[in-house]
Amino acid sequence: MGKAHAVAMAAVGAVFDTALRPSLEMICTTNEAGAFAKARQFGFKRATSNWRKLVEDPAVQAVVVASPQETHHDIALAALANGKHVLCEKPLGLGFEQSRAMVAAAESSGCINMVGFNYIRTPASQLARQIIARGEIGDITFLRAEHTEDFLSDASLPGDWRTAGRANGNMGDLAPHIINAALALIGPITSLVADIATVHPMRGGVPVTNDDQSMLMCRFANGAMGQLFVSRIATGRKMGYAYEIYGTKGTIRFDQEDQNALWLYRAEGPEERRGFTKILTGPLHPDYKPFCLGPGHGTGYQDQIIIEARDFLQAIHEGKPQWPTFRDGMLVNQIIEAAFRSHETRRWVDIE
């Protein structure tokens, strides 16, 4: 993620002609030699292995926190205390309480704060949000969504940092993305019931201390029902960030493995002529034209991070928050905490 953000900050000015043009001042990694190597590779002026030195440096005006989630809280709070704008990778903190503290610090500092939910920024998902907001598919009745990958489907491989500690499990890694999507597309979740499972308790002889997959049923504030499935052991799935959204006048279908296409069904016209239409994203759709003038040519993963960088810079330039802020990240952590509470108590949980 450090590389993705560095590339995005180097490219965003040329892609979007932003009013602010980032200067890559300093990079921090876990050791000095690695920091200097990455500074040379990514084009930073200076390097350090001490993150406090970075956040206290007067030449640094904004900080991207792309380190492991257990470090997010301390780095973000120190950066904000030093008057730096902060873009923090998801999940915001290790849990709801850390996230609340980060929100309080961010909002009292007056600094711009943003959380790195990149997948929802594809032109297709931005188009889906527009279609829903305009009422084109009517009142939303049901969401079925998933974030499924198979990078840990082989239990014979040894366990590592991803299989140790609750924050690094499936619920801390993949679930935040699709929960963020549900909130962005449908709105607030008011109640949920969840089941969370560790399918492989041992990996290559090493005990696993977090979850592999989970399922949530939920109710939204607008009355819609929802079902979310999240798995890091979904054999055959590489980037299964996908959703189906049913409304009273139509349906939307999207799958990130085909991220440049959105499927739309409209309940109108003769029944024998109805069917899903595949919409290929192009220059008329949100944030596509700056990358390519050809419809159907598509955007990719790195482009999502560049769009994210544009939003961050625009927020700094205008002095106005841009979605998703730390508060939006906190709401995702709140849902995750409620899911664990539901799983542990085996009951529905209301979201305050």
In DSSP terms, 196 is beta-bridged to 214
Q: Which is it for strands 113-116 and 85-89: parallel, antiparallel or unpaired? A: parallel
- HEC sequence for the chain: CHHHHHHHHHHHHHHHCCCCCCCCCEEECCCHHHHHHHHHHHCCCEEECCHHHHHHCCCCCEEEECCCHHHHHHHHHHHHHCCCEEEEECCCCCCHHHHHHHHHHHHHHCCCEEEECCHHHCHHHHHHHHHHHCCCCCCEEEEEEEEECCCCCCCCCCCCHHHCCHHHCHHHHCHHHHHHHHHHHCCCEEEEEEEEECCCCEECCEECCCCCEEEEEEEECCCCEEEEEEECCCCCCCCEEEEEEEECCEEEEEEHHHCCEEEEEECCCCHHHCCCEEEECCCCCCCCCCCCCCCCCCCCHHHHHHHHHHHHHHHHHHCCCCCCCHHHHHHHHHHHHHHHHHHHHCCCEECC
According to the model, what pLDDT value does residue 339 have?
98
User: What pLDDT, in 10s, does the model give residues 193-238?
Assistant: 999 999 999 999 899 999 999 999 999 999 999 999 999 999 999 9
What is the per-residue pLDDT for 75?
Answer: 98
Point out which residues pair with 238 in neighbouring strands.
none
Q: What's the confidence (pLDDT) of residue 166?
A: 87
Which residues of the chain, if any, have pLDDT below 70?
none
Note the maximum CA span of the chain: 67
Structure tokens at 159: 């366990």
Which structure tokens are listed for 190?
Answer: 């008011």
Question: Domain coordinates of the chain in residue numbers?
Answer: 2-116, 123-299
Q: What gap in Å lies between CA 319 and CA 301, rounded to an integer?
A: 27
Per-residue pLDDT tens over the stretch 10-47: 999 999 999 999 999 999 999 999 999 999 999 999 99
Angle at 315 between CA 61 and CA 55, to 5 degrees: 20
Q: For residue 3, give the amino acid letter.
A: K
| Cis upstream peptide for 123 (omega within 30°) | no
CATH entry 3.30.360.10 includes domain 123-299: yes
Domain boundaries 2-116, corresponding CATH code: 3.40.50.720
Confidence (pLDDT) at 352? 87
Residues 6+ apart with CB under 8 A from 18: 12, 310, 313, 314, 317
pTM of the model: 0.96
State the Cα–Cα distance between residues 180 and 330, nearest whole angstrom: 10
Tokens (6 digits) for 120: 């929802």
Residue type present at position 208: V
Pairwise CA distance, residues 75 & 330, whole Å: 16
Rounded-to-integer distance, Cα 67 and Cα 295, Å: 36
